[in-house]
Amino acid sequence: MSYKSIAATLFTIALGASLTACSGADKPNKTTASDTTQSAQSTDIKAKAVLIYADWCGSCKVLDPKIKAARDMARDMGDVPALDFVTLDYTDKDVDAFYAQAKAAGVEDAVRAHLDGTIKTGLLLMVDLDDQAVLDVITKAQDAQQILFAMKDAAARS
């Protein structure tokens, strides 16, 4: 099995877990560093896709099928970006718990800087782990192809 095939399979699994959370099918558990699923070897991962989620979020419900379509396109093309996926759950509107999840996932600085004191759900942030910078923000306004491009771009830029 080629490296691309393995990476594509792992990406599909990781993104699928993230998308299940956004769809509200199963409420995700609070994220910890050990909950993240890697899509390639840990030494290759330099970016994370961070879903800011709440089960009451209408934007999450719109974004969900678009992310699923992006996942399907990546799998079909065999060109899967090397990203970790993590879901930060804000369902309970507990700010401290939300940022504790971000810290455990290794993205607290980037998330705090981007949100600037106001937590907004229904976003998929592409975060560079080395610089703790948000490389791109995915919203419900983007289509599947734009989402896939943003994922690939974040993986390439980090």
DSSP tag of 154? H
pLDDT digits (tens, 9 = 90+) for 62-109: 998 898 898 788 888 887 777 888 899 999 999 999 999 999 999 999
Q: Specify the CATH class of 3-157 in words.
A: alpha beta
Query: What are the b/e assignments for 109-146, b being 16+ CB within 10 Å?
Result: ebbeebbeeebebbbbbbbbbeeebbbbebebebebee
3-class secondary structure, 21: helix
- The beta-strand segments (E) located in 56-156 are 84-89, 123-128, 133-138
- Rounded to two decimals, the pTM is 0.73
Residue whose entry in the numeric block shows the structure tokens 């099918």: 25
In DSSP terms, 89 is beta-bridged to 53
What are the tens digits of pLDDT across the range 90-100? 999 999 999 99
Which tokens is 111 given?
């998330």
Residue 127 DSSP code: E
- Where do the structural domains in the chain lie, given as residue ranges? 3-157
